[in-house]
Structure 1
Amino acid sequence: MGSEDAAGKTGESAAVSTAVNFAEQAKDFHEGVKAPNRSFLSICKSLFAGGVAGGVSRTAVAPLERLKILLQVQNPHSIRYNGTVQGLKYIWKTEGIRGLFKGNGTNCARIVPNSAVKFFSYDEASRGILWVYRQQTGQEDAELTPLLRLGAGACAGILAMSATYPMDMVRGRLTVQTEKSPTQYRGIFHAVRTVFIEEGPRALYKGWLPSVIGVVPYVGLNFAVYESLKDWLIKHNGLEDYSELGVTTKLLCGAAAGTVGQTVAYPLDVIRRRMQMAGWKHATSVVTGDGKSKAPVEYTGMIDAFRKTVRHEGFGALYKGLIPNSVKVVPSIAIAFVTYELVKDILGVEMKISE
């Protein structure tokens, strides 16, 4: 019995030692990235702040978002929307104020969780990447480089896009519908159900590949440029931390980030939208293969969509809607970043981006 007791005590000691080692490793991890433990309440607050940021920023530019999509998919042989001002006036005249915000409810239903996941994922990815970077370099006070921020932003964008992509697919089709078009979709859930039944579950992810490829430079550059600009301003002006930067300064940083990101990724957004509309006979307009047939264009994949678009409409077609999109993106990204940080300050969330 004595030997059994000794063995039991030895096992208990080993278990305690293992638990202590795990606790010390976890402590080292958090101390290594100089960030507090993420409580459940803190995570919820961070997700909420990201959702609010997405909803506010997207609603503020909803008319420009709808016009951008209409410009992207309209038939080049039947032009209805010719520029930002003319396009907005035409929508107002033919559909009223409700037309300017058509699809915004669906858009917010998608962008709120998308934004929540994106900002939260960026926070967490930044912490993880920073820890690995410090372990590899042996520099405990090392900070994130622009390239590492680009990687963290890319991870966040891919996760957010994949999680909410079916909502984006449905939002695109609801946005393209007009009162003169045959009514097919009555709302979000009806659209999802109709697409699932008539076109199959894979149709809900049409254009997913160019979306994921496009989100890497877009979201990655947004975060990398925004955070790097703030770092530069703090060091250049001899400030203590991010809280000393004014709202106007942060808005300008966000505007610059949005401009860079959307310019690089815009062609992929056009291809994604066209792939989403492919095969849907009730779209407002379809791009015909020979300029005469009214049959919807079918794409075998992302490369085929690029090839057919450039061949039939020229390279400039990849930038259709870029002007209203630029007008939209500049305030949208800026508002999203600043709103996110303001809401986190109000809620008292301990960890901010890049801290």
Structure 2
Amino acid sequence: MTSNVSKSRDTQSFNYIIRSGLAGGVAGCVAKTVVAPLDRVKILFQASNPDFQKYAGSWSGAFRAGSELYKEGGLRGLFQGHSATLFRIFPYAAIKFMAYDQVHHALMPTREQETNLRRFLAGAISGTMSVFCTYPLDVIRVRMAFQTKASGSNSSAPPTFTQAYKQIYNECTIVTQPHNAQPAVQSRHYIDRFPILKFYRGFFVTIVGMIPYAGVSFLSWGFLRSHFLPPSKVGHNPPTPIADLTIGAVSGVIAQTASYPFEIVRRRMQVGGITRPDRWLGLAETVSAVWRSGGWKGFYVGLSIGYLKVVPMTAVSFTVWQSGKRLLNV
């Protein structure tokens, strides 16, 4: 009993929380760096960049798109927007994994209390908290990765972090509408009075999509570890990096499949200021546009490259997180 109380106090201490967040932040940065070129290609496919739609829909197309990016800008072209990614991903991953540790302990203080529902809730809550805190950085990152030499920019150079920020901040969202669309005009006036809202394009659908993604990801992670690495086998011999990589990869595949349609809609809304600078694209309008352009398959454009990215990213993320926790004695 005394041991459990002592453990509870330790997991809720400031020192423990900082170490847990540090392990998660580093894990996120390493994982994102590993898949940065694939991430940029996926964004171009998801957001329907006109220069790269001819490559969408196949594994070979993803590699051809990557080759064109490399010819266009070398390694810099493959990693365009990655500085913003790292700037966003460290606090995002730190908050997500740190929150997961805390929520997991609150909902499941003992192994006997671990259930699939509680694992799902712990993942969904931690993912939602991280998005609330870092979403504007994600919008800036997507804008940096989306623009190519011929897509929506008068300059041949891709936007820097500062330029992307200013572009979003200065976008005008007021347009002339028919009289029967007055509520839409009023909402645009409201958005222009509060420019910070422009950095939250697609925020609602992101939160909706984050619940199944983070929830299923941590649910799969916890379930697979409990099934294949029960306490009697773990003991004083922690799971090997290979075990962490394998379980993380499977978790990533399951989570990506469950949440991908939400990601498609989110990307379309995030680049709305470029593709439709005269309009504020709403959720219903974006969903309709995706459906008209490709039917139900339109919600899975780029999924193959999504797997190609998510599998190593999730595997590396969970593995580095666990390794960091062991190193920091979390």
Do they fold alike, i.e. is TM over 0.5? yes
C-alpha contact 1:70 1:81 (8 A) present in aligned 2: no
State how far apart, in whole Å, the 1-side matches of 2:314 and 2:105 are: 22
Counterpart residue number, 1:107:
85
Instruction: Give the length in aligned residue pairs.
Output: 301
C-alpha contact 1:226 1:257 (8 A) present in aligned 2: yes
- Equivalent residue letter for 1:278: G
Counterpart residue number, 1:135:
none
Counterpart residue number, 1:290:
none
- Equivalent residue letter for 2:217: N
SS of residue in 2 equivalent to 1:74? coil
Unaligned segments of structure 1, at least 5 residues: 1-26, 132-139, 281-285, 287-294, 350-355
C-alpha contact 1:49 1:116 (8 A) present in aligned 2: yes
- Give the 5 Å matches for 1:222-237: 222-235=217-230
Deviations 1:104-143 (A, max 9, x none): 1111111111000000000111111125xxxxxxxx7633
Q: Is 1:303 the equivalent of 2:284?
A: yes
C-alpha contact 2:95 2:130 (8 A) present in aligned 1: yes
Deviations 1:174-217 (A, max 9, x none): 00122444249742234224422334221100000110000001
Deviations 1:277-324 (A, max 9, x none): 1132xxxxx4xxxxxxxx668465222211221023322111111111
State how far apart, in whole Å, the 1-side matches of 2:111 and 2:119 are: 16
SS of residue in 1 equivalent to 2:252? helix
Q: Is 1:197 the equivalent of 2:170?
A: yes
Aligned sequence identity (%): 32
- Offset at 1:78? 7.3
Counterpart residue number, 1:20:
none
SS of residue in 1 equivalent to 2:85? helix
- Offset at 1:43? 1.6
CA 1:79–1:301: 2 relative to 1, 3 Å: closer
- Equivalent residue letter for 1:104: H
Counterpart residue number, 2:249:
255
Counterpart residue number, 2:179:
none
C-alpha contact 1:185 1:191 (8 A) present in aligned 2: no
- Give the 5 Å matches for 1:52-201: 52-74=26-48, 79-82=53-56, 83-130=61-108, 142-180=112-150, 181-183=153-155, 186-199=159-172, 200-201=195-196
* Larger gyration radius, structure 1 or structure 2: 1
State how far apart, in whole Å, the 1-side matches of 2:111 and 2:304 are: 42
Please list every run of at least 4 consecutive aligned residues from structure 1 whose deviation after the TM superposition is greater than 4 angstroms. 27-30, 32-35, 75-78, 295-300
C-alpha contact 1:117 1:156 (8 A) present in aligned 2: yes
Q: Is 1:276 the equivalent of 2:270?
A: yes
- Equivalent residue letter for 1:208: F
C-alpha contact 1:278 1:296 (8 A) present in aligned 2: yes
Deviations 1:304-346 (A, max 9, x none): 2112210233221111111111101001001001101111111
- Equivalent residue letter for 1:165: Y
Unaligned segments of structure 2, at least 5 residues: 173-194
CA 1:121–1:58: 2 relative to 1, 3 Å: same
Query: RMSD of the TM alignment (CA)?
Result: 2.6
Deviations 1:39-74 (A, max 9, x none): 322221111111100000000000000000001122
C-alpha contact 2:168 2:273 (8 A) present in aligned 1: no
